[in-house]
Amino acid sequence: MKNVRNIAIIAHVDHGKTTLIDGLMSQSNTVASHRQLEERAMDSNDLERERGITIYAKCTGIDWNDHRINIIDTPGHADFGGEVERVLKMVDCVLLVVDAFEGPMPQTKFVLRKALGLGHFPVVVINKIDRPNARPDEVLNMVFDLFVDLEASDEQLDFAVVYASGIQGYAMKELGDEPVDLKPLFDTIIEHVDPPSGDPEAPLQMQIATLNYDAYLGRVAIGRIFNGRVTEGDRVAVCRNDGTKDSARVTKLWGFKGLERVLRTEASAGDIVALTGFDAILPGDTITDLENPVPMPAIEVDEPTLSMIFMINNSPFAGKEGKFVTSRQIKERLDKELEFNVSLRVNLTERAEAFEVSGRGELSLTILLETMRREGYEIQVSQPRVIFREDENGKKLEPIEEVVIETDSDYAGTVINKLQQRRGDLLGVHVNHDNTQRLTFRVPSRGMLGYRSEFLTDTRGTGVMYSNFDGYEPHRGDLPFKRNGALIVLENGDTTGYSLFSLQERGQLFVGPGEEVYGGQVVGLHARDNDLVVNPCKKKQLTNMRSSGADDALILTPPRKLNLEQAIEFIQHDEYVEITPKSIRIRKAELEHNRRKTK
């Protein structure tokens, strides 16, 4: 145990955690020399690679100078905070990675608060010091101030610091040192991270933090052994969070090395391992000694702040593009997600075909929807709604987010005005060296719904925005803004260039010519604040008369194609997003125009 180190790498999104792990694996020769190590090798999921973010926590093991370093790569986005919370208990220390230019950001504060609360003593890595505008000394002062704000103990304030460039593959303990390799970081981990505690001779206690699935072996439970030993073939007890107990046999036992799982015959206290042989195990459950079962306290995870209604697709195009379209199939898929995603909640509604799904934020829910879409599901979803609470006096509380925005000074005034309209409070303004401004706000979560696209427009696509849940506060009143109306299709048909040419003056279109649409589908944003029923399928009448300008070419403005996140941001309370493996459409909840008028 004295040669084992268990650490988690935590950071704000895009501060270089996964790239740093690439360098650690490469320079420790953990990955065979003949094998090409891909960039961000730990991000193995397709969505992670496409979006450039980490969604699921993953384990790896590295050997360095007779030491085994178990590393957990954690998500950097606040919406996946549940992944971070459940793995922090598996480790003895965290590497807090901070960008040498951006400094601490909202997610940095979130994950650091969790780590300090568990009593960890972080090692701070000031990453990306090779950036032309890097300011490592200033960022280090900002990190120290953040520790103070989070009420770190005197021992935690005395943290070790390493300066690094993950992409260049070097680290240094002092800024003036010669950059060579990542050895200073390895040495700091060995020196400042305590070996795992626990008694290998005590009864077995292993808590499950995350799950994987193997097509041949079934559910794979991953966690840390806190006490005792486990051997392949052992019969063990499973103590669940609901108080029930069961027995099972360990059929396979793995450790981690590089990008692969390595078969083992035995593991003991301090090891992070993967086991199979458990049919109904969930994150937070304890695998313990069969004769002397001692369950561990459940892993606490913050409650969701946002909910959406998932329902079957009942549009005129239902069943044309997907394989799984029934409410039973959707319910089974959501139940399967609950086994892995501890921060998700699924509740039944009054309608048998609809389910209320709650999560940390829009991104966590849209990642689930995109995954289901790629698996062949057809589904409809409602507008996201924040989850309100009441205090002990019955006063209504709402979730508040800390929002940090980096934008050019020319657009800062517009951003401040828009967020103040959404009941946001401006906490501070910092002018950077390149004449950009960092704006810090506290904004109600409902005020942030639908704002991202508007923000990109206001900043001409140059602004960067990060947000993080920051607690519940008294309700701040109604929001005074309203989206413009929608352009709604009159009847089923195929769109024509002739009709769209005249409609593009009415607003912004979401469809081009030759697309199949149905009555009640939303095909554009009206230029005014009322909904407008239009006919984008109208064909030009053919006559034997020739008129002036008849042969002029019709010039159509390219339609605005909405992706899943943009579509969910766009819809109002009376609209749904229809999601299929091939299409994303927006529709009115009530397709009949006459019925819609009476509501």
Percent of the chain having pLDDT more than 70? 92
Single-letter code of the amino acid located at 90: M
pTM for the complete prediction?
Answer: 0.80
CB 426 within 8 A of CB 439: yes
Single-letter code of the amino acid located at 92: D
Output the domain CATH number for residue 565: 2.40.50.250
Q: Is the pLDDT of residue 40 over 70?
A: no
Residues 145 and 276 in one domain: no
* CA dist., res. 120 & res. 385, Å (int): 35
* CA dist., res. 6 & res. 2, Å (int): 11
User: Rounded mean pLDDT of 453-471?
Assistant: 84
How crowded is residue 418: how many other Cβ atoms within 10 Å of its Cβ?
16
The predicted structure's pLDDT at residue 533: 93
Contacts 24+ apart (CB under 8 A), 365-373: 365/306, 365/308, 365/568, 366/564, 366/565, 366/568, 367/47, 367/55, 367/79, 368/337, 368/341, 368/344, 369/564, 369/579, 370/47, 370/564, 371/47, 372/333, 372/579, 373/564, 373/579, 373/580, 373/581
Q: What does the H/E/C string look like for 289-320? A: ECCCCCCCCCCCCCCCCEEEEEECCCCCCCCC
The predicted structure's pLDDT at residue 519: 93
What is the spatial order of strands in the sheet that 260-263 belongs to?
245-249, 235-239, 286-289, 205-214, 218-227, 272-276, 252-257, 260-263
Tens-place pLDDT, residues 391-440: 888 899 999 988 888 888 889 999 999 999 999 999 988 887 777 888 99
Higher pLDDT, 257 or 493: 493
The predicted structure's pLDDT at residue 81: 65
* CA dist., res. 579 & res. 543, Å (int): 41
Confidence of residue 494 (pLDDT cuts 50, 70, 90): very high
Burial class from Cβ neighbours inside 10 Å (0-12, 13-18, 19+) for residue 310 reads buried
CB 324 within 8 A of CB 333: yes
Q: Is the pLDDT of residue 466 over 70?
A: yes
Q: Is the pLDDT of residue 70 over 70?
A: yes
* CA dist., res. 467 & res. 495, Å (int): 39
Confidence of residue 546 (pLDDT cuts 50, 70, 90): low
Residues 522 and 459 in one domain: no
How crowded is residue 257: how many other Cβ atoms within 10 Å of its Cβ?
17
Tens-place pLDDT, residues 329-365: 999 999 888 877 777 889 999 998 999 999 888 888 9
Confidence of residue 54 (pLDDT cuts 50, 70, 90): low
User: Rounded mean pLDDT of 184-191?
Assistant: 90
Angle at 285 between CA 279 and CA 291, to 5 degrees: 85
Domain with 432 in it: 389-474
The predicted structure's pLDDT at residue 60: 84
DSSP E strands in 86-204: the ranges are: 93-99, 123-127, 160-165, 170-172
How crowded is residue 159: how many other Cβ atoms within 10 Å of its Cβ?
16
Residues 140 and 240 in one domain: no
User: Among 49-53, 185-189, 272-276, 467-471, which stretch is predicted with the lowest mean pLDDT?
Assistant: 49-53
User: Rounded mean pLDDT of 276-305?
Assistant: 83
Of the CA atoms within 13 Å of residue 118, those in its CB half-sphere come to 21
Tens-place pLDDT, residues 92-115: 888 999 998 888 887 778 788 888
Residues 98 and 128 in one domain: yes
**DSSP secondary-structure letter at 257?**
E
Burial 174-187 (b: 16+ CB within 10 A, else e): eeeeeeeebebbbe
How crowded is residue 169: how many other Cβ atoms within 10 Å of its Cβ?
18
Structure tokens at 375: 């698996």
User: Rounded mean pLDDT of 16-30?
Assistant: 80
CB 492 within 8 A of CB 316: yes
Tens-place pLDDT, residues 226-243: 999 999 988 999 888 777
Residues 64 and 145 in one domain: yes
| pLDDT mean across residues, the chain | 85
In a domain, 43, yes or no: yes
Confidence of residue 33 (pLDDT cuts 50, 70, 90): very low
Residues 593 and 507 in one domain: yes
Tens-place pLDDT, residues 315-332: 999 999 999 999 999 999
User: Among 288-302, 504-518, 563-577, which stretch is predicted with the lowest mean pLDDT?
Assistant: 288-302
Residues 187 and 209 in one domain: no
Q: Is the pLDDT of residue 307 over 90?
A: yes
Torsion, Cα of 255, 258, 260, 266 (10° steps): -10
Domain-ending residue, one of 289, 314, 337: 289
Residues 462 and 506 in one domain: no
Residues 165 and 221 in one domain: no
Tens-place pLDDT, residues 119-159: 889 999 999 998 888 889 999 999 999 899 888 899 999 99
In a domain, 351, yes or no: no
The predicted structure's pLDDT at residue 590: 92
Q: What are the φ/ψ torsions at residue 335 (nearest 5 degrees)?
A: -65, -40
Output the domain CATH number for residue 115: 3.40.50.300
Binding site, by residue number, is: 14-19, 127-130
In a domain, 536, yes or no: yes
CB 586 within 8 A of CB 524: no
Q: How many domains does the chain contain in total? A: 4
Rg (CA), the chain: 27
Confidence of residue 82 (pLDDT cuts 50, 70, 90): low
Residues 226 and 270 in one domain: yes
The predicted structure's pLDDT at residue 547: 54
Domain-ending residue, one of 236, 264, 289: 289
- Pairing state of beta strands 306-311 and 354-359? antiparallel
Residues 419 and 554 in one domain: no
Domain-ending residue, one of 425, 446, 474: 474
Residues 31 and 162 in one domain: yes
Binding site for GTP, by residue number, is: 14-19, 127-130
In a domain, 365, yes or no: no
Beta bridge pairs of residue 489: 534
The predicted structure's pLDDT at residue 450: 80
Q: Which ranges in 325-450 belong to alpha helices (H)?
A: 327-340, 362-374, 409-421, 445-448
The predicted structure's pLDDT at residue 34: 37
Question: Residue 197 to residues 1, 90, 201, 226: CA-CA distances in angstroms?
Answer: 8, 11, 12, 7
